[in-house]
Amino acid sequence: MDCANPVCTLDASALVCGGTCAATHYCSNECHAAHWEEHRALTGCRVDGAVSRIKWFAILRSEGQRNKLMRKLRRGSGGYTAAQLEELLGVLEGYGYRRKRKYNAIRLTVREALGDAQREDEQGEE
């Protein structure tokens, strides 16, 4: 099966869309992200809270993904919406992450990025 991203010809057995369609296959997270807007427009797919939390858990489990997230968030909101950052902060505040010291820096950075995202949202409404 080919990747759903039309510019990609790789095998798509590695990843299934985590949205409500749960039927579109991609070769990687990068292809999924690149094709997301078109996919969402064509299928009406959306990411609900439970699916988003699962994605946050996957990012937090991987040291490389955590570091990538930190780099993005140190530059502001990292392209995430305030709602997404609130959800991530909720994951970090619960589920045992609060007791682990290695997540303290991420938690503080997410709080700062959340403030940036909320300010961006307010400026967008004006």
pLDDT digits (tens, 9 = 90+) for 11-37: 877 677 766 676 788 887 778 878 888
Query: What's the chain's length in residues?
Result: 126
pLDDT at residue 119 is higher than 80? yes
Predicted confidence (pLDDT) at residue 49 exceeds the cutoff of 80? no
| Residue 54 Cα distances to 9, 14, 23, 78, 112, angstroms | 27, 17, 17, 19, 23
Separation between Cα atoms, residue 17 and residue 4, nearest integer Å: 10
C-alpha–C-alpha distance, residues 17 and 28, integer Å? 10
Residue 11's pLDDT is what?
82
The mean pLDDT value for 96-107 works out to 77
| Res. 69: pLDDT tops 60 | yes
Confidence band, pLDDT 50/70/90 cuts, at residue 39:
confident
Considering the chain, what is the average pLDDT of its residues? 79
- CA–CA separation, 76 and 110 (whole Å): 9
Confidence of residue 126 (pLDDT cuts 50, 70, 90): low
Summarize the confidence of residues 119-126 as an average pLDDT: 75
